Structures are given as structure tokens and as C-alpha cells.
Structure 1
Amino acid sequence: MVTASLPEARFALVRDRVMEGVAELLTAGVDLTFAQVAKAAGVPERTVYRHFPTREALLAEVFAWANRRIGFDGQLPATGAAAGALVRRVFPGFDAIAPVIRELLVAPGGRLARLSDKAERQRAFTGVVKHEAPGLGRHAERHVAAALQLLTAAATWQALRDYWDMDGMEAAEAAALAIELLLEGARARTARRAPRSRPGAARARKT
């Protein structure tokens, strides 16, 4: 078992304290300035700057911290069932840190953090569609993959929370059902596209 050195442990502890301070400020609706973050975390302001030189760097770490808090380990789904399982795992977690998630959705730095793995997400969700509905066609495949990715996103959790008063559990069930129906439709479309042999042609081949 590898044990972290004292400097490494202290470094991690300070960063965790800063993240907790950020969460406290966002929950209270306080403007996210470095001075306020330092005060909430109980550390000197220069310490916050040493760890996070810019607001963008701070929000990038908030994004990573939030993923850890909701139990997302970075493993993107490879199947439709895995996509449904993902929303059932993370949407309830969003409720616990709702102010942090909202900030990541609206802040420019949060957008940059969310887009940092854009290409990886595109590949993953395109792979899900290829797995679930092979032969769908390039354009339809792209559109279904985009809709599928959106259904697993925090923006969907937020919309269901705002417009339908759903908590994370109910939002997860709604999103998981939508994922299931979306992929069922994609598979049905693929089946309709599959070539079918004519009965007469089949008889001709037998003779």
C-alpha cells in the first residue's frame, strides 16, 4: 500500500478545504471571489492563488471535485443499460451539491471545464449507438448520440428540477426511461432499413 507523503497529504487537505469553502459560498449565494473563498476555507488568500492561479483553474478543480462527490469516476457508458445506470447514480448526487452544479452550468469557467472531455464524450456516446443500433446511418447515429449524451448531462437534471419539480431520483428515472425509448426507436429504425428478401426471390434460389 502506497502512503502519501506529509507534503502531499497537506496539499490535498488544503485543496479539499478550498473546495468545501467554494461549496459553502455557492450554497449561500455569495459571489465567488478569491478573498471570499480564502475566508470560507480558513486559509490565506495567497494560498488559494498558489493552488488555483485563475478563476478558470479554480472552477476546473470544482468540476473534478463535484464528479468525485457524485460518484462519477470518469467511466463513460458503453451500452444503453450503462447509460441508464449512470443517470441513476449521478442525478441523485447532483441534489446534494445543487448550487455547485448550477454554477458549473452557467459560469464560463464551468463551461470550459465541462467541455474539456468533449471529444471523449462524443466517441463514447457514438459508440453506445453503434452498439445498440448498428447500421443506423451516419447522420441518424450522430443525432441519436447527441440526444443520448444530453439525457445523461447535468443540464437535463437541472431542467427536470426547474420545469417539473423533480428531485434527482425522479429525474434519473425519467432520463433513464427516455434513454431506453430513444434506443428502442433507433433499433426499430435500423430494422426497417435492413434489406428483406422477396418471397419469390427466395423460391427462385431454392429451385
Structure 2
Amino acid sequence: MTGKKEEQVAARGRRKEEVRNRILDSLIGLLSEGGDINHDRVAERAGVGRRTVYRYFPDQAALMQPLWDRVVALAGPGVKFPGTMDEMIASLPVVYRGFDAIAGLATVVRSTPQGRAVRLAQKDRRRKSYTSVAADAVKDLPPEDRVLATALFQVLHTTPWLEMRDHWDLGGDQIARVCGWAIEVLLKDLAVRGGKPLAEGAV
């Protein structure tokens, strides 16, 4: 009897996982097409009831997080928010190759209102990560300049991909190389700048 109950529990778990994956796949499909992302459209595309979608993902924010996680997983395990400056620099080739690998989806994420909503859902996590990563490098700057420099590090780690791909026909390895160079130049300047404001130019 115990064995039968365990089998039933395992079967229910597999069914739940299957439904969850169908919902996640429908999210990716809607995002790829640039369509509105809401519970009704997800349910229709996944072939499940609206209440089922709400049971797994109770609000709009809950839809955005797994969608972000699925996009990042498709780009590869090395595509993530960095923990240290060294990790950020070392991950550049992995990040930009990952974007190349999912070029269509990565373009949608960066160029549509739906993609922007997915990215903005990670705003707090993103800012916390890069603020921690850049803290030592920017510590001597005036407070406002610390934010500016930190924001630039974050931009160089992920953001130039679409512009450089579209307008310069560059690939991930090339983009990673030049962004790595730019980060290293910034770090060298910050190392000798001390508390000199950014507005006073490079040291």
C-alpha cells in the first residue's frame, strides 16, 4: 500500500511539473512573438485553465520571474548576475556567446515592451548585484558618481550586445573583448582617481 501511495504521489508530482513546463513554454512563446503576457493568454496557449495558471503563478510579478529564469537558462548556466568584479569580467565571453545562442529571444527581451517588463522585474536584484560588485572600485567617488560608475559597469556587462550586433555586425566574442577592455580602462582610472569627480575627466 505504501508503495502504491508513493507511486501516486510521484505521478502527481510529474503531472504538476509537466503542467508547469507547459506554462513556461507558453510564456517563452508569447515573449518570442512579442505578444502580451498575461494569465489569460498563457492559459490559452498552454491549453490549461486560467485558474491553473494562477495556481502556479498567482500574479503578474510571479509570471515574470520564471520567464526571466527560463530565458537565462536558455542562454546558458554562466549567464547570471555576477558576484565579484573578477567574475563579471571573466563571464563576458559566456554572457555574449549566450546571447548569440538565443539571438532572436535576446533581441525580443531587449527591444519590446514585453521584454522590457521581464527585465524590469529583475531591477532590484540587478542593482543589488552590481552595487556589491562595484563597491570597492567606486568607493572613493562622490555618492552620485558612485551610482553613475556602477551603472556603467552593469551596462558594459550585458547591454551593448544588441546595438553592436545590429549596427556593427559583431559577434559575442568580439563584443566581450571590447567590453572587457572598456571595463579594465575604467578600473585603472578609478584606481588612481581617488575622490576626483567623474566630471573632471580621466586621470
Separation in 2, partners of 1:82, 1:90: 11
What residue number does 1:158 align with? 162
Trace 1:192-203 onto structure 2 (pairs within 5 A): none
Structure 1 residues 135, 35: CA separation in 2 closer, same or farther (over 3 Å shift)?
Answer: closer
Match of 1:127 among 127, 135, 139: 135
In the alignment, the residues of structure 1 paired with residue 42 and residue 125 of structure 2 have an alpha-carbon distance, to the nearest angstrom, of 27
* Residues 1:96 and 2:114 aligned together: no
Q: Does 1:83 align with 2:91?
A: no
Consecutive unaligned residues in structure 1, runs of 5 or more:
194-207
Counterparts in 2 of 1:56 and 1:100: CA distance versus 1, 3 Å: farther
What's the CA shift string for 1:117-165, capped at 9, x where partnerless? 14413432332525xxx64554443322221111113x32222222222
Match of 1:173 in 2: 177
Which residue type is aligned with residue 148 of structure 1? F
Kindly provide the amino acid, as one letter, of the partner of residue 163 in structure 2: A
Alignment coverage as a number of residue pairs: 182
The answer to whether the Cα contact below 8 Å between 2:27 and 2:42 also exists between their aligned partners in 1 is: yes
1:202 match: none
8 Å Cα contact 1:77-1:128 kept in structure 2: no
Cα distance change, pair 74–95 in 1 and its aligned pair in 2 (3 A): closer
Deviations 1:88-131 (A, max 9, x none): 2222112233343344443253243121314413432332525x
Distance in 2 of aligned mates of 1:87 and 1:75: 11
Which of 27, 41, 60 is residue 65 of structure 2 equivalent to?
60
2:125 aligned to which of 117, 137, 140 = 117
Gaps of 5+ in 2: 1-8, 198-203
Give me the whole-angstrom Cα distance separating, in 2, the residues matched to 1:142 and 1:39. Answer: 43
**TM-score computed with the length of structure 1 as normaliser:** 0.68
Taking structure 2 as the reference length, the TM-score comes to 0.69
Q: Give the C-alpha shift of residue 51 in structure 1.
A: 2.2
